[in-house]
Structure 1
Amino acid sequence: MALTLNVLLLLLLLVLGANTGSGGQPAPTDIPEHLHYELPSVTYETPDSHVPGPIAGLFHMVHGFVHVVQPQEFPEDIIRKIIQKNFEPSADFNKVAYYEIGVIVCAVLGLLFIVLMPVVGFFFCLCRCCNKCGGEMHQRQKESGPFRRKCFSGSLLVISVIISVGILFGFLASFHMRDWIQRTQSLADSNLKDFQKLLGGAPKQINYILAQFNTTKDKAFSDLDNINNLLGSKIHNRLATKVTPVLDDIKVTVAAIKVTKEALEGMNSSVQSLRQGSQDLHNSLTSVKNDIQGALGGDECRAGPAVQTCNDIRASLDQLEGTPGLDQLPSVDTELQNIGNISTSNLDGLVNLGYAFLDSVPEEVKNQTEGVVQDIKNVLNGISVDIRSVAEYPITATLSNFTGYINDTETYIRRNLPKLEEYNAYWWLASLIICFLLALIVVFCFLGLLCGICGFDKHATPTSRGCVSNTGGIFLMVAAGLSFLFCWLLMIIVVLTFVIGVNMEKLVCEPYTNGKLFQVLDTPYLLNKEWEYYLSGIVLKNPNVKLTFEQVYSDCKNDKGIYTTLKLENYFNVSEELNIQKHTGNIINELENLNLNLDNVVLLDAERRKNLQAFATSGIQDIDYNTYLAQTDKTPVKVNLLLFARDLEAKVNHLPPGNMKDTLQAQVENIRRTHHQQVLPMEQSLSNLKKNVRILQSTSSGLKEKMDKILISLDAAQSFVSNNISSIIVEETKKYGKIILGHFERYLQWVKDAITEKMLSCKPVATALDSAVDVVLCGYVVHPLNLFWFGIGQATVLLLPTIIFAVKLAKYYRRMNSEDVYDDVEILPMKNMENGNNGYHKDHLYGVHNPVMTSASRY
């Protein structure tokens, strides 16, 4: 047991004995535009667990039997005393005996079997030679004879089948042990390859970490070169939220001033045109009326039918009058002069300067930060040296030591593995011999049963049985003899393998699986009286750090890196070495020294304010637009001149020819000419006047309030720019610095996580330990060994009833030398035969009937 624990401890220390190690764990981020890191993973060949296949059910069955025989808990105190060499047989014998009571009882029973079976066999042979113990070749016939024969046959058959099952268990156990141990070389090679992958993957992981630094640095350089967008645009956007709406309002105001000026000019032109047109139209219409009245005053209108027509024409002349008031429309010269005095060019300049200032911020930021950006790049270039030293230390030295351990282990395995295979061949041969001996006994039993059952003739007397039946009885006696001859030898092997297998299962395999073996090894001051924690004393040179075998095995099993597993922060603190402040302090200082000059920005001065105020007090809001709109809804003449001319022409056509008719025809044309030359232009002027009035009415609505609001917004924007531009630059610079530093913070955090969590994953260590203990020792050896003694032991124990039933049954199959005979009339009942009433014995040599049983020859 002590040897086993020492081997286990040596194996664990062998694979964990390197002084330090590092690892890495990818810490990808889902934040857009951020870099993603993924440490190259290593795929190992060795499976995590051993799957025995269908035979696993037999192993569980044997394990249940072992638990019944040995139900005691793992004796941690005894094991600790043995390791510390404090075990005293006299004082601790009772504890050991109590723990091993089940094994001891079974072993004692086995020893009794070993001792008694040869003795019993010896005396049984002597007894048989003396024609005792069934050695007499005479079979007494009894009424229950057929029933007893069938019972003996059935019992022997069942026992033989059970023995065959036990032999099969033993053979399968030996076969699997032989087959699995032959795989030990490939399993060892697989574990060694995993270690080589582990060692070979470490430089690749280091190179990947360093390569990701270059990627991170390139991303940072790209952001530095793009400072005009990342920083300048941010400042631009912060200012634009306050300034752009005001500039847009001013731009709209400038456009409104221009539209207002154009509308006033159009309105004034329309008013002047209407005044002049109204006077001209009045004069034209008066002249037409006078000429028509003059023509109607002639003699042609006093006679005949022309009188009525002339009267109708004379009555319609009142319609030829212009609309009153058009010549009285007020002028807007004052308002036009006020608007004309406003310098829209100055306001346009205000807007253009504001927009130009905002648009120039990104480029101005880039121009003013060229020197600082270059200094930051120089600082970032220097970080790569620190990263390389952290990533490589102390991996380089560790790998060389670890490689030495691996090479020594590989040499040891290749040197000693052939011996294991040689011992396995011996065991395979021995197990075949054992199974053969048991199989030989079972074969004789089956042959005896086969021949006996097939050759048995119920009408034949014991002395006249056939050859086949007699051969069956001989086979059964041979089986009994072989059982006496070999059962005690087989039991010796069963007892030895039982004691070894049960203790290995309970003291190594089971505590290894449930972790109690590690708990024993983790007992303070157990392996070294001066060290509280042995593993930390070996690895970290500090036995006070709580580093346990159980924790190391669990972490390795969970694929953690050696740094975390072995608590190497007590040896080399990666967190301190990868502190972002340590590596980026200069970057922060450089960013803090980033001094952007965007001052002296004036959005509003006195002259521009005066122009805006002048527009608000230009008087356009005081114009009586309703007066103008009322006139624009009227026509220049009370009647439609074209309709009047057509009606007049129709009337003139009824007049007789003459000078009056010709004169009136000329006036019709004159009226039409007046409509086209004077009325239509006046209607266009009225339309233009209405449109301009609507524009001015809309523009002037709430003009003062709008301008006051714009002026307030201008003051607020100017105050915001003047008072906050410095703080905006500082805030956005800090945010920009966080973007630059954020790349390295995430990178350094990933490097720290990679080194501490995943890089140099010690999973092959746990796998190798599982392969050595759980797979090879327990799975390949102990479990098949337990199944072997279980099957062979079961078969060997059942040889005892086999002997009994075989000897009893042989009497019914073998040909006897003498037999019981009775009167020819009838055979008396068995009870009378047993009482000796009317029984006769037939002597085959003489054939004499005798009422009294006589002796016959016996063998």
Structure 2
Amino acid sequence: MLTTQDEKSQRCVVFSSSHPLQILQYQTGYLVCATIAVIYFVALPAVGLSLCCCGRRRRCGGRVKAYRRSLRCQRNLLMLGLLLTTLVILAGVVCAFAANQRVKEEMEPGSRDALNTLQALRRHVNGIPQGVQRAVDEVAVPKEQILQDLDNVGRSIGSTIQLVLKGTVYLAMAAMKGRVQDLQNSLHHLRTVNTTVQALIRHQDELESTLKERKESIVFLLKDPRCAYCQSAFNRAESLELGVNYRRVPSVEKELKTLHGLPKTNFTEMIERANRSFNSIPEVAGAKMAEVVRDLKAEIEKAARKVQSIADGFPILEHTRLMNDALAKAENHSRPYFKEVKHYEKYRWIVGVVACTVVLLIVFCNLLGLSLGLYGLTVREDPSDYESRGEAGAKLLLTGIGFSFLFSWLLILLVFGTFLVGGNVQTLVCKHWASQEIYKFIDTPGNLPASMNISQHLGLKKNLNITTAYQQCKNGAGFWEVLHLEDRYNLNEHLHLAKYTTEFQKRLGRFQTRFEDIVLLNAEGRKDLETFRDSRIDLIDYPAFTAEMRNPMVRTNLEGLAGDLERLSTVQSDRTVAERLAEEAWKLKEIQNTMVLLMEGMVVTVSSPPNIEFLLFLLPFHQILINSTESQAGHAETAIPLESQKILQQELSCFERKEVGYVSQYLNWLRIVLIEDVASCLPFSAALDNGRVILCDRIADPWNAFWFSLGCCTIFLILSIFFAIKTMKHFRPIRHRLVSTGSEETYPFHIPRVTSLRL
């Protein structure tokens, strides 16, 4: 049912003022109920007493005096009315029994739950200081993370520097290794070429004289007239001379003299030393930052102690102590009442059971009386005949009437008492509690005594609005917002990020250092490379050298000429010519197998890929490679100190943002926890709602159901008495009126010995 604006205004009037006239006006319904109860309490026993007196003086008959045609219809209507009334009373008493039992079942758990609610509130309030301390102690999480990062910051920055510069440095080192290898290979190949060419020149002179001698001898022999068929080999013999001149091969002695003694620098040791220095950058960075890391750790410890001090000065702890005292006092004061409630609840339940049992006994009398009376009517042949079961039914109805008169005063008192308590609780407390108007009543000045002022008990500077506080608590706000603690404690100032990180940032920003210069190419090594570059090995006429090496050693084929001479020796008729031809052939073969083959092997050695081909490959890139190597080494040596400083500043800035971010994240979390989570007042709004559920839904509702059901039974007892009185006459024998002049006397028709009961 919707509540009208006038009803709301009326309730607000009651809770905004305490004048007796307004309270009396508001309690009009209860006064009317009290009036009805008083009338019922007085009238019903009086009526019962009157009926008893009437029956004793025989002014009230106990039987129907005359039979009429409408008697059956009247009797049936009365019986139907009594039956329906009894069934209504039965339904009411069943509901009353159930409601009475429900009140008993809910009273003890309700009182226990109310006490548990107070204890839970106390535990919550007691847990707020521990919660604040735990939240503050969580500063150990970012602190440990920052300390762990500080332990590795130097090495991490050094590793980053090494990673960024690794490509440049390693390329320079690889280029230096390559140039040193080129220098060593060039020296080796030039020495090999020079030695081989000198040896070839020596063998060339010896071969030249030998070939000249053999040419003269063979030509003279072939011109001999005794030599038959010799003219065919004469032309080949004329070509028996050297086909090469190794004196025309470019000399490399000058270049060898220039490169003699190189490399003067131990490039392997120099590169290894530079490599060790470069790889030690992480350790060097860690060592250089060790002092500032100790200072930064001290600053972090100092910042953690500042955060710890928040727990000591947090103002809500003072209020929680007052709340705890108030809740402890409420709990201690309520314990005796809860025990008394349990004690008196037992008597209330017994009284309710007795009252319901009395009503149930009346219902039993009515139902059994109706059953016996109806059975007696069905077996009775004549209305004036006596029937014992019908008489027993009438007596049972009369017994029920007697019980109704005897206990009606107890029932009406019980109904009114429970109605007065339950109704007032429902209308004055539960409805206004559910609509939250009870909080407005508490908020209105003057409605409560000064001793019950919550703001004074909590030590607040301004009055606490209970309505607003309840809504805020229900919406999840904390005591910080509800108690307006920001007026006396500036939490933002205490959790300001700069308060904890300024010194940390200053010390980190002031850190400056230089990494030792790493020498990749020292002056002696550079001089060696420059000497190698200026050695002019790239200007040697390697193509002329190669071309000379490709020329045949002898212009004619010695083996071919020897073969021709051997064939000619077989066809000669002159034995002397034949022997000389064979001898010359043998000598040519010996020259081929000794001197020519030896020199050809030397030529192959000089012209093989590791020698001339290497020099030919190096020739186009010689100057470029050495210049590039010097440039790479110089660039790497310059980049290491410059880039390391740049990377150091970038990494320190990134490190600062990360560590300050940890602190900022924690402070933001701490602000939320302190304002909303740790000191949440949601349990208080939940406790108020639980209290309303316990009092109203679990206790007041079955309590009101009990008085309503029992009151329904009590009201319908009046109809039950009326219908029972009217109905029981029909269960007795009917007297017939004798038709005579002036005589109205009645006589028993068949059974003169029966004396009828009078009311």
TM-score (norm 2): 0.73
Aligned to 2:460: 541
1:689 paired residue among 611, 616, 625: 611
Per-residue deviation, 1:254: 0.8
Indicate conservation of the 8 Å contact 1:264/1:332, yes or no: no
1:757 paired residue among 676, 687, 691: 676
Aligned to 1:250: 172
C-alpha change, 1:704 and 1:585, in structure 2 (3 Å) is closer
Letter matched to residue 254 of structure 1? M
Aligned to 2:310: 390
**Aligned mates of 2:404, 2:36 — CA distance in 1:** 18
Aligned to 2:741: none
Match status 1:792 vs 2:720: no
Letter matched to residue 103 of structure 2? M
Indicate conservation of the 8 Å contact 1:265/1:336, yes or no: yes
**Aligned mates of 1:782, 1:164 — CA distance in 2:** 23
2:364 paired residue among 417, 423, 443: 443
**Aligned mates of 1:607, 1:132 — CA distance in 2:** 151
Aligned to 2:696: 778
Higher helix share: 2
2:187 paired residue among 265, 275, 285: 265
C-alpha change, 1:809 and 1:765, in structure 2 (3 Å) is same
Aligned to 1:163: 89
Q: Deviations over 1:139-167 (max 9, x none)?
A: 54569759x74x77677656545433432
Letter matched to residue 405 of structure 1? A
Letter matched to residue 175 of structure 1? Q
**Aligned mates of 2:390, 2:566 — CA distance in 1:** 160
**Aligned mates of 1:510, 1:335 — CA distance in 2:** 117
Per-residue deviation, 1:427: 1.6
Indicate conservation of the 8 Å contact 1:293/1:314, yes or no: no
Indicate conservation of the 8 Å contact 2:17/2:447, yes or no: no
- Residues 442-841 of structure 1 aligned to structure 2 (within 5 Å): 442-452=363-373, 457=378, 460-464=381-385, 466-483=387-404, 486-487=407-408, 489-522=410-443, 525=445, 536=455, 539-543=458-462, 547-554=464-471, 562-598=479-515, 671=592, 677-680=598-601, 682-685=603-606, 686-689=608-611, 691-693=613-615, 695-696=617-618, 699-700=621-622, 703=625, 706=628, 710=632, 713=635, 718=638, 721-722=641-642, 729-730=648-649, 732-737=651-656, 744-759=663-678, 761-762=680-681, 765-766=684-685, 768-771=687-690, 773-800=691-718, 802-803=720-721, 806=724, 810=728, 814-818=731-735
Aligned to 2:113: 187
Indicate conservation of the 8 Å contact 1:556/1:762, yes or no: yes
C-alpha change, 1:316 and 1:87, in structure 2 (3 Å) is farther
C-alpha change, 1:175 and 1:327, in structure 2 (3 Å) is farther
Q: Deviations over 1:631-653 (max 9, x none)?
A: 99x797899x9998999999999
**Aligned mates of 1:341, 1:313 — CA distance in 2:** 55
- Residues 346-385 of structure 1 aligned to structure 2 (within 5 Å): 358-359=278-279, 362-368=282-288, 372-382=292-302
**Aligned mates of 2:163, 2:273 — CA distance in 1:** 13
**Aligned mates of 2:373, 2:586 — CA distance in 1:** 162
1:136 paired residue among 64, 72, 89: 64
Per-residue deviation, 1:787: 1.9
List alignment gaps of at least 5 residues for structure 1. 1-66, 822-841, 848-855
C-alpha change, 1:577 and 1:209, in structure 2 (3 Å) is same
**Aligned mates of 1:105, 1:616 — CA distance in 2:** 128
Aligned to 2:354: 433
Q: Deviations over 1:200-233 (max 9, x none)?
A: 6456546645755567656555555x2xx40454
C-alpha change, 1:363 and 1:463, in structure 2 (3 Å) is same
Q: Deviations over 1:58-78 (max 9, x none)?
A: xxxxxxxxx58xx45696655
C-alpha change, 1:93 and 1:527, in structure 2 (3 Å) is closer
List alignment gaps of at least 5 residues for structure 2. 739-745
- SS of the equivalent of 1:261 reads helix
Indicate conservation of the 8 Å contact 2:212/2:241, yes or no: no
C-alpha change, 1:261 and 1:384, in structure 2 (3 Å) is closer
C-alpha change, 1:292 and 1:403, in structure 2 (3 Å) is same
**Aligned mates of 1:635, 1:123 — CA distance in 2:** 167
**Aligned mates of 1:661, 1:470 — CA distance in 2:** 181
Q: Deviations over 1:374-415 (max 9, x none)?
A: 555555555565444431335776666555434433431233
**Aligned mates of 1:610, 1:512 — CA distance in 2:** 100
Indicate conservation of the 8 Å contact 2:558/2:588, yes or no: no
Indicate conservation of the 8 Å contact 1:561/1:762, yes or no: yes
Indicate conservation of the 8 Å contact 1:271/1:329, yes or no: no
C-alpha change, 1:519 and 1:193, in structure 2 (3 Å) is closer
Q: Deviations over 1:734-778 (max 9, x none)?
A: 54455555555555555544433333555554455445x324432
**Aligned mates of 1:684, 1:611 — CA distance in 2:** 29
**Aligned mates of 1:502, 1:528 — CA distance in 2:** 22
**Aligned mates of 1:791, 1:481 — CA distance in 2:** 22
C-alpha change, 1:313 and 1:480, in structure 2 (3 Å) is farther
The total of aligned residue pairs comes to 736
TM-score (norm 1): 0.66
Per-residue deviation, 1:510: 3.6
Indicate conservation of the 8 Å contact 2:426/2:700, yes or no: yes
Per-residue deviation, 1:468: 3.7
Structure possessing the higher radius of gyration over alpha carbons: 2
Letter matched to residue 234 of structure 1? I
Indicate conservation of the 8 Å contact 2:278/2:518, yes or no: no
- Residues 309-324 of structure 1 aligned to structure 2 (within 5 Å): none
Indicate conservation of the 8 Å contact 1:438/1:795, yes or no: yes
Q: Deviations over 1:812-854 (max 9, x none)?
A: 6x24234799xxxxxxxxxxxxxxxxxxxx986479xxxxxxx
Letter matched to residue 699 of structure 2? V
Q: Deviations over 1:679-703 (max 9, x none)?
A: 4554344232365147526855964
Q: Deviations over 1:540-596 (max 9, x none)?
A: 53217xx43244445555776544442323233343334443355444444454443
Indicate conservation of the 8 Å contact 1:295/1:664, yes or no: no
Per-residue deviation, 1:367: 4.7
C-alpha change, 1:846 and 1:499, in structure 2 (3 Å) is closer
Indicate conservation of the 8 Å contact 2:96/2:710, yes or no: yes
More displaced 10-residue stretch of structure 1: 784-793 or 754-763: 754-763
Q: Deviations over 1:95-151 (max 9, x none)?
A: x48xx87x88888887887777667767777888878798526654569759x74x7
**Aligned mates of 2:566, 2:383 — CA distance in 1:** 168
1:89 paired residue among 2, 12, 21: 21
Provide the alpha-carbon RMSD of the alignment.
5.9
Indicate conservation of the 8 Å contact 1:379/1:586, yes or no: yes
C-alpha change, 1:796 and 1:673, in structure 2 (3 Å) is farther
**Aligned mates of 1:744, 1:506 — CA distance in 2:** 55
C-alpha change, 1:653 and 1:527, in structure 2 (3 Å) is farther
- SS of the equivalent of 2:378 reads coil
